[in-house]
Amino acid sequence: MNGIPKLLSKTRLMRGYRCLKNIYLNIHEPSLETPISEDQQAVFDQGNAVGAEARKRFPGGVLIDNKPWDFIGSLKRTRELIANKTEIIYEAAFEHQGCYARADIIRYSPSSKRWSIFEVKSSTKGTDAVRLMHLLDPHVVVTDIIMPEFDIFDALEQMRKIRPSVKIIAISGNRHLLTLAARRGVHHVLQKPFDLRRLDVLIKDAMR
């Protein structure tokens, strides 16, 4: 049986949030972990692609590219960049009372002398979107109107109940569905196919 790690990552904490037995076995009996499937790897790859795309919205930053398990190295590199007054840092690492997390993007404002943290999450499951609303309290949500086994129009109402001020950008290749989404009060609609630069403009507008 493995010992208790000095730092618990956000991923492990989320496991415990869903199931205490899951995090216990992950720490003490890692050999029981199910190998990563092709579908899971595809989800991870999608997340990496979304993160890379998000970094384009904040150009000129420095990426902390230490391996995911290199907690100490990532924390040290983050401290160095902050000490050197780096204004934009990708994948910055933080630790507090034994809990470890990495932020997608942090940006320093010399005028206010404050840091802003930007987290970007993606999912192919509509049910995850509603769950993440509770956990992350996002400012902007970009969603396809058609999602498997999910009523997006019902989800729009749920999202607004969770965070009334959330800005929602709905995308679809179906003009009728976009019209319905607009009537439901989404902030922007975007018809497929579209240029990513157009989506960028809409996201920046929604974040104002």
Give tens-digit pLDDT for 126-177.
Answer: 777 777 787 777 889 998 988 777 778 888 888 888 888 999 999 999 999 9
Q: Are residues 78 and 7 in the same domain?
A: yes
Q: What is the pLDDT of residue 6?
A: 65
Query: The tokens 């607009």 sit on which residue?
Result: 182
Asked if pLDDT for residue 15 goes beyond 50, the answer is yes
Asked if pLDDT for residue 70 goes beyond 50, the answer is yes
Amino acid occupying residue 94: F
13 vs 41: CA distance, rounded Å: 21
Asked if pLDDT for residue 188 goes beyond 50, the answer is yes
Q: What is the pLDDT of residue 1?
A: 45
The DSSP secondary-structure symbol of 190 reads E
pTM for this predicted structure: 0.74
Q: Are residues 186 and 137 in the same domain?
A: yes
As given in the structure block, the two tokens for residue 156 are: 């729009």
Q: Are residues 105 and 130 in the same domain?
A: no
* Residues spanned by the domain of 78: 1-28+56-114
Q: Are residues 93 and 71 in the same domain?
A: yes
Q: Are residues 168 and 140 in the same domain?
A: yes
Tally of domains in the chain: 2
What average pLDDT does the structure give for the chain?
A: 86
As given in the structure block, the two tokens for residue 94 are: 């933080």
Q: Are residues 148 and 97 in the same domain?
A: no
Q: Are residues 130 and 100 in the same domain?
A: no
Tell me whether strands 8-9 and 99-109 are parallel, antiparallel or unpaired. parallel
Q: Are residues 84 and 165 in the same domain?
A: no
Residue 150 phi, psi (nearest 5): -155, 135
